[in-house]
Amino acid sequence: MRIDHSSSLLPEVTRGKKIQIVVDGNSLDAYEGETVAAAMIAAGIWKFRLTRNHKHPRGVYCGMGICYECLVRVDGVDNVRACMTPVVDGMKVETCKEVEL
């Protein structure tokens, strides 16, 4: 969910330009300046990858690029950290596509 009201701790912001990204074939609204992870979470998508052995779902954990739980495929490139990658208009994101690093 995006926060759309102002509060003392989180004063109102105007987001960057509205753009579209495509996640697993579905178009999502996103705003310039957002990370892929934020845009996905805002849309309620939590399953970012499946683990290698047990195929268990994983999503954002550390949010700062160090745990590698948020790996997705971006424009054909595997194992991209969604929490560290800014959205770009027309970007194609695929979840649960992890191959071994």
95 binds, among other proteins, ligand FES, none (CB under 5 to 8 A by kind): none
Please report, as residue ranges, which positions from 10 to 29 form the binding site for ligand FES (by CB under 6 A): none
101 binds, among ligand FES, other proteins, none (CB under 5 to 8 A by kind): other proteins
Residue 31 class from Cβ within 10 Å (0-12 exposed, 13-18 middle, 19+ buried)? middle
State the residues that interact with other proteins by CB under 8 A: 1-3, 5-17, 31-35, 38, 41-42, 46-48, 51-54, 56-69, 71, 79, 83-84, 86, 101
Indicate the pairing of strand 92-94 with strand 18-23.
parallel
Q: How many CA atoms lie within 13 A of 52 on its CB side?
A: 5
Closest to ligand FES by CB, 29 vs 69, is 69
Tell me if residue 82 falls in helix, strand or coil. helix
